[in-house]
Structure 1
Amino acid sequence: MTHTVHCQKLDKEAEGLNKPPYPGELGQRIYDTISQEAWALWLGQQTMFINEYRLSLIDAQAREFLQNEMKKFLWGDEQG
């Protein structure tokens, strides 16, 4: 079953994600406020960061960096 969200990234009503894409409260916030389209844009941006900075996702600092960049990308400068 699909649901519609008011996407905070794109500022429009759009189809939401099928399930939270991330664990915990942050995943629920993404599910509630970010559309499939905006999430796909983030995944492309995330891939660029991983490749450009040669990040290893087993490194806790790399994961923290990506999480902070994801918050900036999806919600602007707000630290949600």
Structure 2
Amino acid sequence: MDHMVFCTKYKAEMKGLPEPPFDSEFGQKIYKNVSEKAWGEWVERQKMLLNEYRLQPWTREAQEFLVEQMNEFFFGEGGALPKEYVAPK
């Protein structure tokens, strides 16, 4: 049986993640409130952020920035794209 959630991003009942993405309270919040579809969109957004800002994901600063962006993406206004970002065609 699939894990179902009321997705905060899509405001609908959808298939959730098979397990929490992190072993933390924030990971549990995502597991209980974010769909697989929304998580996939976040993964793509995260790649874009890493590239556009030239982040080194092993640094504390980059990790904190990504968590802030993730929180905004799922539970806030969606998160702003970098000013210089040009979507691929």
TM-score where L is the length of structure 2: 0.83
Gaps of 5+ in 1: none
What is the DSSP-based 3-state SS (H/G/I as helix, E as strand, rest coil) of the residue aligned with 1:13?
Answer: strand
Note the residue ranges of structure 2 that are not aligned, 5 or more in a row.
78-89
Q: Which has the higher contact order (CA 8 A, sep 6+)?
A: 1
Determine which structure has more spread, i.e. the larger CA radius of gyration: 2
Runs of 4+ in 1 over 3 A off after TM superposition: none
Identity of aligned residues (%): 43
Shift of 1:23: 2.2
In structure 2, what is the Cα distance between the partners aligned to 1:39 and 1:7?
10
Q: What is the alpha-carbon root mean square deviation over aligned residues?
A: 0.9
One-letter code of the match for 1:76?
Answer: G
TM-score (norm 1): 0.92
Structure richer in helix, relative to its length: 1
Matches for 1:1-80 after TM superposition, within 5 Å = 1-77=1-77
